[in-house]
Structure 1
Amino acid sequence: MSHRVLFVCTGNVCRSPMAMALFNARARRAGEDHLYHARSTGTWALDDTPASAHAITALATRGIDLTAHRGQTITRALLDQAAVVIVMTRSHRDALVSEFPAARAKIYLMSELVDRVYDIADPYGGTLAEYEDCATSLENLIETGYEKIKSWIHKPAR
């Protein structure tokens, strides 16, 4: 059985697809991609929108291909299928809890991976350097917090 991690941002073209791809690459390196798999979605996404060009480039430099990604808006089904939901900002968390209160216990901020509370800045419309910075931040959080994500999946509801 594969445990699904759902990463959430706003448009599902920058932060959450990068986090999804970085997490899946990390699970592959650990030989655990049969156990853990990430998807991504957005609170205001337009379905079938490709990842932004800079997001694709930022991950390509890390050997990760994001060209097949297509955005999708959040649905109850996506939330229900996820063992853990990881959001980029407090406003994403608040919006999801407001719309889907039953999911509250499995929603975490990305920054909680390092026991902090802060928002991951949206690089949308920014320079390639801003996307690279965002990708580096996400990569570091996932590398540092990979075991914590697994513990969130396997712990009782909070």
Structure 2
Amino acid sequence: MRFSVCFVCTGNICRSPMAESVFRARVEDAGLDGAVAVHSAGTGGWHEGDGADPRAVTVLRENGYPSGHTARRFQPSWFARLDLVIALDQGHLRELRRVAPTAADAAKVRLLRSYDPAAGDDLDVPDPYYGGADGFEECLDMVEAASGGLLAAVRDAVEEKAA
């Protein structure tokens, strides 16, 4: 069974689809795509069925990432099949832990920027939705900076699971 990671933001049209796309590329580059499944969702269902925000799509494409995406809402029942749930900010972290069916499920929730040693104390990825293209570029920079540390943690978990 594949190790499963789900990135979660508010509406699943900006931050989490960007993180999903970047991390999926990192997983493929590492040759782990057969061992790791990558998903994303939102804490709310406002955008269910929509594509990613066009500004997110533009930034991803300009940086060589695929951008096909359909927004969906995170369901607490998914915890049973997920190994790691990556929140994009503190609000998402609190909400995901609140809806987790068990303490073990709540323990699966982590902040993305906690995997970036240079992040310091500010572990939130700001929501770029209400701003311009520069916010989406900043989001991508933060996602990329954390992806290496997350990949190392996932690789360790995959190896441990296989042992």
1:109 corresponds to 2:124? no
Deviation (angstroms), 1:154: 6.6
Residue 70 (structure 1) aligned with residue 75 (structure 2): no
The percent identity for this pair of structures is: 29
Instruction: With the length of structure 1 as denominator, give the TM-score of the two structures.
Output: 0.89
Relative distance call for 1:9 and 1:155 in structure 2 (3 A) is farther
User: Could you say what the CA RMSD is over the residues aligned between the two structures, in angstroms?
Assistant: 1.9
CA displacement, residues 86-120 of structure 1 (integer Å, 9 cap, x when unaligned): 10111111111112241111111112113555211
Q: For residues 1-158 of structure 1, what are the structure 2 equivalents within 5 Å?
A: 1-45=1-45, 46-66=47-67, 68-102=68-102, 103-114=105-116, 116-117=120-121, 118-151=123-156
Q: Secondary structure at the match of 1:27?
A: helix
Call closer, same or farther: CA 1:101–1:155 in 2, change over 3 Å. farther
Segments of 5+ residues of structure 2 without an aligned counterpart are none
Q: Determine helix, strand or coil for the equivalent of 2:107.
A: helix
Q: Which runs of 5+ in 1 are unaligned?
A: none
Q: Give the match's secondary structure for 1:145.
A: helix
CA distance in structure 2 between the partners assigned to 1:92 and 1:69 by the alignment: 20
**Separation in structure 1 between the aligned mates of residue 127 and residue 158 of structure 2, nearest angstrom:** 26
3-state DSSP of counterpart to 2:139: helix
Structure 1 99/47 Cα, relative in aligned 2: closer, same or farther at 3 Å? Answer: same
Give the AA of the match of 1:93: L
The total of aligned residue pairs comes to 155
